[in-house]
Chain A
Amino acid sequence: MSHFSDYKDLIQADDWALIWISRDNIKPVKITAGATFNTRYGSFPHDDMIGKPFGSQIAVRTRGSNKFGFIHVLQPTPELWTLSLPHRTQIVYTPDSSYIMQRIQCSPQSRVIEAGTGSGSFSHAFARSAGYVFSYEFHEIRYEQARKEFEDHGLLQDGNLAITHRDVCQDGFAIQKGDKTTFFDDERLNESPSPVQINANAIFLDLPAPWSAIPHLDEVISQDSKVSLCCFSPCIEQVDKTIEALEKQGWTEIEMVEIQGKQYESRRQMVRHLDDALQRLRDVKERKQMGVERRKRMFNKLISDQEEPYEQRPETPKTQFNPFGKGSRVKEGDTGFQWKEVSKVESEIKSHTSYLTFASKIVNKTRDETLVAKLADEIRGSGAKVSVPNKTDDKIGKLS
């Protein structure tokens, strides 16, 4: 049972769920009959969740008041997992991982090498789309944590991901029987040749020294098709050494890019018209004028020696005109006022994650001449009518 790869309808016991408390508070939880999920807003019995569809809001009344707190129970996806996961290392965030997957054309055709596994967030995204993912982690404790997590999440059972404990910079990528790897645990792969036919066509290196791993790639990459690679390094010096190693090993189309992801809050700004601001000042001025005139009269009485120059201070009425709610706390979006929809960039942005250095390599630029001749003959033999349908616009017309 995979908690990520199947689209689930109902929340059931033993499911992994992500409980959304707030944007920056998402908790992975294993749904267990009889258990309770506690937050500062209330306690939520798992039994209230079981049997409801994923995405359900669960609410409880808080004690002694008529208010209630609530949570949402979501099915995990790699992107939500990235927001909630326990960090073992710096993680690859979605703006970077999505660009990398798009650029190296990650699909069921991809055989991916990922080194190192780290917190495993990118492994989840790769496993969703790729034909097979070979993930490598050199830190033994992190390897064990990741292996257990992949097992808990059903990634290993899905049969398209294996994690191997390995320092790829030292010992390369080849996987053999007897290595500390989950590869041979899969019954279908138990009888696979050793070393494993990795044939990777997509490589992701998130290592402190990718240049020492690059020379080891040749023995595990696809020999007869294009291989795409991405190195993920925070420092420009690492990029420089990576380019040097890539050039030396015959990688081409080397290009480094940087991704900047931003999120915006949707906010409202009060619309305050000049005319209203003017009117407000006029109002202030008018009432000020009343005081000025009173003092003027008192002064005139004083010089003309009239007795009792003091005039009673008149009761000033509170202003009638306060278009912007000055002095009171106005809530953003208060319907008594006019608002404009605005966006505000998050207060702290990830201004630098890492540099992404892409490259590609084709080991064998040859073709099977006899196969091509045979194919050409076959097509000619079939009388110019081709196996692939005619690519014309009406194909789309027929679709509708």
Chain B
Amino acid sequence: MNAVTHISFNTHVLVRLPSNNLKICELKPDSDISLGKFGAFKTNDIIGFPFGTTFEIHYDNAVDDNVAGTGSDSTSRSSKNKFKIPVGTISVIESGVASRSGSDEEFTPQPELQLIGNSDSNKNLINVGNSIQKLTTEEIELLKQQSASGEDIINKMIEAHGSFHQKTVYSQEKYLKRKKQKFAKRFTVEYLSSSGLLQYLLDKGDVTRALDMSEESLGMILNLANIRSNGTYLCVDETGGLLVYALLERMFGGSNDNEAAGKIIVVHENEHANLDLLKFSNYTEEFMQKHIKTVSILDYFEPPTLSEVQEAFTPLSDDQLKAMKSNKKGAYYRRLKWYTGQLDIIDWATKLQYDGLVVASTLHLPTFIPRLGQRVHGSRPIVCYSQFKESVLELSHALYSDLRYLAPTIVETRCRPFQTIRGRLHPLMTMRGGGGYLMWCHKVIPTDPSEVKAPLPLVSANPEATVTEAKKQKIE
């Protein structure tokens, strides 16, 4: 089974709830997953279905084996168990749980609505508040306790609603949608893409961690930086691993079998890199160690010298190693690991030429980027993200006066989602603001003016171009 296309054991997946919130779940075999008020289900029941499948949780045959902590004898159990959600059975349903702008269920009149009358206008509708709903909160709670399906509850609520038939069909749909978000026991399991991970962060209010980045900015970074599976990239990621994950996904597509040689050298500000979000990724540890290397800014900008490293440690020959006592071997291998690590750092900081520089950092960019840019190969792109336009503006001014950087450009991209219902197409009334800004340029290698040759004998060129004018042209 392919873990990229199908729901598989021991992977992290995104679960979209009826409320349109996202949850990341780890699919441990023989375990239960609780979605809070939306119910709970057995992990094994969803394994093997393609990503994107929507499931509904049922409780009809009320087999109490699975029920933990509810029922008549619950008083005798610990109070912790009281909050456990009964585990239901699962069926696959055809339409999605909710789309990104929550509209896919709206395009045709809901089956529930076809049986009930509606009104052309709402002129007879008088707002009398809660009393129009004959069901009391207690009664609804009781229905939920009886584990009636979401649909049953909603249908009972419509029956008990005094003026439902006086609503227009549009407002009835909105009512249904609201109630479904509250009572439906549906969920969709999605592959954990980089966009999904970003959306998850934004949904749970972690905008700061994502540095206010939008999906469109993330996509733009990957394209402008020309990310491909065979590149060696220098990267600074202050989003806790979101950016590195997006690079990995673009390079390897979530597959541990990808044999491309691409590498990401992550330069970090603290003693250890914070790539915490990679704990959700489904790459093996071995795969990540092969393709992600981390080095602190101190080690990167002030690497040890070869002689320092060699002075501190000399690897033994095979014969010497064989002769070594086994109780000393552990210490030897630890030293050896340190030694190769130091040699790697020397390589990354003084020998490698990078195929791209990708930065999402809050360090002062005009001083940081030119130093990071030193080891970027000529003609390779540099893309730098900031939440604030002023930061990339300052950076672009700094790079503009540096001949090693060609045409620094400030780029902004914004996505405007629409309510996507036939006959009712319009941009959404509200959307998330922000999304950040990018600086994009290319590393170049300036010529030494003293080495410039005289013109060819046959030149018919216009002699007006001077360095400054050509530079000015770049602005235009």
Tally of A interface residues using CB under 8 Å: 120
Chain B residues with CB under 8 A of A263: 409-412
Chain B residues with CB under 8 A of A236: 425
Q: A98-B222, A397-B272 are in contact. Are A258 and B416 (CB under 8 A)?
A: yes
Q: Which of the 9-residue segments B138-146, B315-323, B393-401 touches chain A?
A: B393-401
Task: Determine whether the beta carbon of B378 is less than 8 Å from that of A109.
Answer: no
Chain B interface size, under 10 / 10 to 19 / 20 to 34 / 35 or more = 35 or more
Q: Which of the 9-residue segments A189-197, A204-212, A248-256, A276-284 touches chain B?
A: A248-256
Task: Determine whether the beta carbon of B103 is less than 8 Å from that of A255.
Answer: yes
Partner of A396, one of B94, B273, B418, B470: B273
How far is B10's CA from A379's CA once the two chains are assembled, in angstroms?
10
Q: Mark B147-181, 1 if CB is under 8 A from A, else 0.
A: 00000000000000000000000000000000000
Which B362-396 residues sit within 8 Å CB-CB of chain A?
Answer: 377-381, 389-390, 393-394, 396
Task: Determine whether the beta carbon of B107 is less than 8 Å from that of A58.
Answer: no
How far is B286's CA from A399's CA once the two chains are assembled, in angstroms?
10
Chain B residues with CB under 8 A of A78: 223, 226
Chain A residues with CB under 8 A of B194: 102
Chain A residues with CB under 8 A of B272: 396-397, 400
How far is B400's CA from A343's CA once the two chains are assembled, in angstroms?
13
Chain A residues with CB under 8 A of B475: 23, 265
Q: A107-B254, A257-B417, A343-B389 are in contact. Are A252 and B380 (CB under 8 A)?
A: no
Task: Determine whether the beta carbon of B456 is less than 8 Å from that of A103.
Answer: no
Task: Determine whether the beta carbon of A61 is less than 8 Å from that of B425.
Answer: no
The main secondary structure of chain A at its interface with chain B is mixed
Q: Mark A39-67, 1 if CB is under 8 A from B, else 0.
A: 11111010010001111111111111101
Partner of B458, one of A43, A60, A380: A43
Task: Determine whether the beta carbon of B454 is less than 8 Å from that of A225.
Answer: no
Q: Mark B434-456, 1 if CB is under 8 A from A, else 0.
A: 00000000111111010011111
Partner of B461, one of A62, A258, A262: A62
Chain B residues with CB under 8 A of A39: 461
Q: Nearest chain-B residue to A363 (Cβ)?
A: B50
B330 within 8 A of A: no
Q: Nearest chain-B residue to A357 (Cβ)?
A: B420
How far is B449's CA from A261's CA once the two chains are assembled, in angstroms?
37
B328 within 8 A of A: no
Which B17-61 residues sit within 8 Å CB-CB of chain A?
Answer: 26, 28-30, 44, 47-53
Q: A23-B474, A254-B99, A400-B294 are in contact. Are A55 and B442 (CB under 8 A)?
A: yes
Partner of B453, one of A9, A48, A65: A48
Task: Determine whether the beta carbon of A224 is less than 8 Å from that of B461.
Answer: no
Task: Determine whether the beta carbon of B420 is less than 8 Å from that of A56.
Answer: no
Q: A60-B453, A101-B223 are in contact. Are A266 and B103 (CB under 8 A)?
A: no
Task: Determine whether the beta carbon of B418 is less than 8 Å from that of A105.
Answer: no
Task: Determine whether the beta carbon of B226 is less than 8 Å from that of A128.
Answer: yes
Q: A57-B445, A253-B96 are in contact. Are A391 and B12 (CB under 8 A)?
A: yes
Partner of B10, one of A9, A259, A388: A388
Q: Mark A128-164, 1 if CB is under 8 A from B, else 0.
A: 1101000000000000000000000000000000000
Chain B residues with CB under 8 A of A262: 411-413
Q: A60-B456, A98-B220 are in contact. Are A396 and B275 (CB under 8 A)?
A: yes
Q: Which of the 9-residue segments B64-72, B73-81, B227-235 touches chain A?
A: B227-235
Chain A residues with CB under 8 A of B255: 108-109
Partner of B465, one of A9, A41, A56: A41
Q: Could you show 13 A-B contacts with beta carbons less than 8 Å apart?
A: A5-B230, A56-B447, A94-B223, A102-B216, A108-B253, A108-B255, A109-B4, A224-B5, A225-B6, A255-B420, A261-B412, A341-B393, A399-B289
